[in-house]
Amino acid sequence: MGSRRLLPAALLAVVLTALVVTPAVLVRRAGLEHRQTTPARAGHWLGGWGTAQATAGRLPCGSCTVRNVVHLSVGGTAVRIRLANTYGTGSVTVGHATVALPAQPGATAAPALLREVTFAGARSVRVPAGAAVSSDPVPLTVTGGRDLLVSLYLPRHSRLAVSYHPSAHQTNYLAGGDATTAGATAFRHTTTHWYLLAGVDVRTADAVGTVVALGDSITDGTGSSGDTNRRWPDLLADRLAGRPPGKRHAVLDAGIAGNRLLRDGPPTSGVAALTRVGADVPAGLGVRTVILLEGINDIQFDRGVDAAALIAGYRTMVASLHARGLRVVGTTLLPYAGARAWSPAGNAVRVRVNSWIRTSGVFDAVLDADAALRDPTDPGRLAPDYDCGDHLHPSDAGYAALAATVDLTVL
C-alpha cells in the first residue's frame, strides 16, 4: 500500500485533573471521567491474547497443521479464537482446529485438556481474503500467565499467501496433514510466525477490561529472549494479574516490528498505525485503554518527516480513539544514539516530539519511557543494562523497567 497523506485533526480540549508521580515517569491524567465505562458483568469476554497481522506468505507445506503457542494474559472458563486473513491472496479454509493446554513446554498437548473448535457449529470454516472470523466458545479452564496451543489444519494451500505475524519471538510448530490432535512428535518443523491467528478471547470474571499496546518492534518484543514472554506487554500483564479482583485487566500486544505511525513500511512491517488501528484495537472485548508507542521508525527511515507531521498524526490517532470512548496513554520515544539509523536531525525530532507528548495535554496519561530507560550520564542513549546491544531495542531488563513504569491506576 502506498503512503498516506495525513491532515491534523482539530485541537482536542483536554482538562488536567490529576498529577501522579511514579518511579522515573511522570504520569498526567486528564479528562478521564467522561470516558469511564461501566464494568462488564461476570463471565464477560475479554481479549486474553492477541497479535497484529502484518503481511502474507506461503506456508512451507501444501497441506499442514500450524500449532501456534500463545501466552494468555488472563484466565477464565472458556476461550474462543479469532482468525484473520487480512493480507491473504485468497480464501483460506481451516479444515479442523483445536485448542489445548500444553503438557510441557513446546508442542506437547495434554490429551485430557485438548478441545475441538467449531465455527457456527461446523468443524471447518472459510476465511476470505481481507476477512476475519471468530469460533464458537470452547469450554476450557485456562490460567493467566500460562500458554495455550492453538492448532489449525490448513489443507491444500501451497499456492496461497496466508496472513501472518512475522516476529513472534516464540517457537511455533508445523506438521504435515491434519495433526490438530496429534502429539509433539508429529511436529517436525518450527516457525517464528503466528499464522492466521489474530486473537484468543477468554470468558472471565477475574478482569474488568482490556488494554491494547499499539506499537512497533519495541512493543513486539525485539531484543527480548525468545520463548520466555518477556515483551513489555506480557510483563505488564503479569503486574496486572497481581491486582485484586475488579482491578485486573487483560492485555493485547498489537506491536509490529518496523511499523510506522504515518506511512506504510516494507510488507513485513505492516501498514501505518493510523491505518491499522481500527482492526488492531478490536471492538467488543472490553477495551478501555490504548498505550501508544509509535514514531521512532518514521524518524529513522522517513528522513523528511518532522515533529509537526508526527504530532499531527498523534492528534489524529487520539481523536479517533477518544471517539470510541477509549483512554490513550502516550509513550515517549526511547533514545537511540549508537543505532545504525541514528542521526542528529532525527534525534532532534525525537526530542521535540517527546516534549510535546509530555506537555500537550492531548493524551489521557503519559508513560515516560525515555526518562525510565535512558542512560543518566548520556541521556541520548539507552542505559547499558537496558540495551539489548543494538542501541535501539531494550534488553529483558529494559522491557521489565518499561513495564514497571506503567501507573496501573490509569488503566
| Predicted local distance difference test score (pLDDT) of residue 61 | 81
Buried b (16+ CB within 10 A) or exposed e, 366-392: bbbbbbbbbbeeeeebbbeebbbeebb
The single residue listed with the C-alpha cell 527511515 is: 301
pLDDT tens digits, residue range 203-250? 999 899 999 999 999 999 999 999 999 999 999 999 999 999 889 999
DSSP designation for 159: T
What is the Cα 186 distance to its own chain's centre?
30
pTM of the prediction? 0.90
Q: How far apart are CA 334 and CA 372, in angstroms?
A: 9
pLDDT digits (tens, 9 = 90+) for 89-106: 899 999 999 999 999 999
Q: How far apart are CA 176 and CA 59, in angstroms?
A: 11
Q: How far apart are CA 327 and CA 118, in angstroms?
A: 34
pLDDT digits (tens, 9 = 90+) for 135-189: 999 999 999 999 999 999 999 766 788 999 999 999 999 999 999 999 999 999 9
Predicted pLDDT of residue 304: 82
Query: What span, in angstroms and rounded, lies between the C-alpha atoms of 104 and 385?
Result: 32
